[in-house]
Amino acid sequence: MRGRALLMVFLLSLMYVVCGARLGSERQKLEIEKHLNRLNKKPVKSIESPDGDIIDCVHISHQPAFDHPYLKDHKILTRPEYHPEGLFDDNKVSVKPKERTNPINQLWHLNGKCPEGTIPIRRTKKDDVLRASSVKRYGKKKHRSIPIPQPKSADPDLINESGHQHAIAYVEGDKYYGAKATINVWEPKIQQPNEFSLSQLWILGGSFGQDLNSIEAGWQVSPDLYGDNNTRLFTYWTSDAYQATGCYNLLCSGFIQINGDIAMGASISPISAYRNSQYDISILVWKDPTEGHWWMQFGSEHVLGYWPSFLFSYLADSASMIEWGGEVVNSEADGHHTSTQMGSGHFPEEGFGKSSYFRNIQVVDGSNNLKAPKGIGTFTEQSNCYDVQTGSNGDWGHYFYYGGPGKSPNCP
C-alpha cells in the first residue's frame, strides 16, 4: 500500500514537472513571438540577400526607434544642421599603388534596393532570439565589454573577468564631439559560437562604473548574434554601462535611421584578403552643435541617422574619451586562450596587406572641426595574443595596425 502511495506521489510530481516545462516552453514561445512582432515592422518590400538575410524595407516613420515613449511626436531630421569641417577626403588620398584600397558594398544590394521613404532593416528570426541567453538580453552586449586603458577600476582583475580582450589606440583628457576612422575589413575566424571579433570606434562619457555612456560603430563577426560568420556593419549604444539601456543596430528603440541604402547588421562585401586586395570602410560619428544629437556617417556619402541626445547623460554634453581598435571574447577557462582572431588574425608588424589597420583617425573638437588626435595612447591586455602599433605619415595621417591570432605558441 505504501509503495503504491509513493508511486502515485512520484507520478504526480513527474506530471507537475512535465506540465511546468510545457507551460514554461509555451510562455517562452509567446514571449519570443511578441518580441519578434515588436522588432519586425510591416515592410513595404522585402529583399532576400544571398547570405540568407531578409532585408525589410520599412517606412521611415515606422522604424523601431519610434517605440520609445519620448519619440512619439518626434519630427524626423532629414539631415544634420552642421557637418564637421576639415573632413579628410578619402577620394583624394594619394595612396601609393601598393597601398591602394577598394570600394565596399553590402551583400543584399545584389538583389535590389529599398523604395524611397523606406529604410532597410535586417529581419530578426526566431533562431536569432533563441541563441540569446534570454529574450531580454537579445541584441545586448555583456557587461564590462569596454577597454580600460589605465587602471581606472578599483580592481584591475575586472578587466579579465569579463573575458573581453582588446588592442586599441585612445585619447582622453579633453572634450570630444566626435571621431572618424577608415578601417580595413576582414573575416576573422571565431573558435566558439558564443565568442565574437570586432573592430570599432568608441565614443565614451562618464566613468567606467555603472554610469558609462558609449556610442560604438564598426564591423563585427558574431555567430551568436547573427547565426553565421559573416562580417557585418554594426552600431551600439548604452547610457548605463551595458546594463538596461541600448542595443546593437536597430534591435531596440533609440537610433533613428534616415538612410535607405545601408542596413545595420547586414553583411559587408567584399572583404580584405591576406597579401591581396584590401577593402576598407570609413565611419564618422559627430555631435551636431545645434540639436545636440549624435550623427553617424558611413563612407563619404551615407549619413545613416542619429542617436537623440536625450538617450544620454554625459554624452548629452560631450565625450571625455575616444577609443579605436579591436575586441574579442575569450571564453576559455583556467588561463587557456581562444584561437579567435582579431582583425586579420596577424600581428601589426606584418604591415599592409597582411595586418588590419585604422587610418586617418581624427577627433571632432568644440568648433566642429575634424583634427588629428593629440597624445594617442595604446592598450592591450595580452600583447603576445593581440597587439597594436601606431604611426603617422602624409597619406594615412595618424594610423595604427592591430590584431593577432589569439592562441599560439606565445599565447597558450
Active-site residues: which are they?
Answer: 216, 327
In the chain the first and final C-alpha atoms are separated, in Å, by 62
If DSSP codes are grouped into helix, strand and coil, which group holds residue 60? helix
Q: Which of 199, 164, 163 is nearest to 355 (CA)?
A: 199
Nearest-angstrom CA–CA distance, 252 and 64: 6
Eight-class DSSP state of 289: T
For residue 81, the tally of other CB atoms under 10 A from its CB is 12
Q: At residue 156, what are phi and psi to the nearest 5 degrees?
A: -60, -20
Q: Which of 403, 381, 361 is nearest to 199 (CA)?
A: 403
Q: Which helix (H) or strand (E) holds 15?
A: helix 2-39
Q: Which helix (H) or strand (E) holds 279?
A: strand 278-287
Cell representation of residue 242: 551595458
Cell representation of residue 88: 579628410
User: With contact defined as beta carbons under 8 Å apart, do 408 and 336 qualify?
Assistant: no
Q: Which of 333, 331, 338, 334 is nearest to 408 (CA)?
A: 338
Cell representation of residue 327: 575586441
Name the CA radius of gyration of the chain, rounded: 23
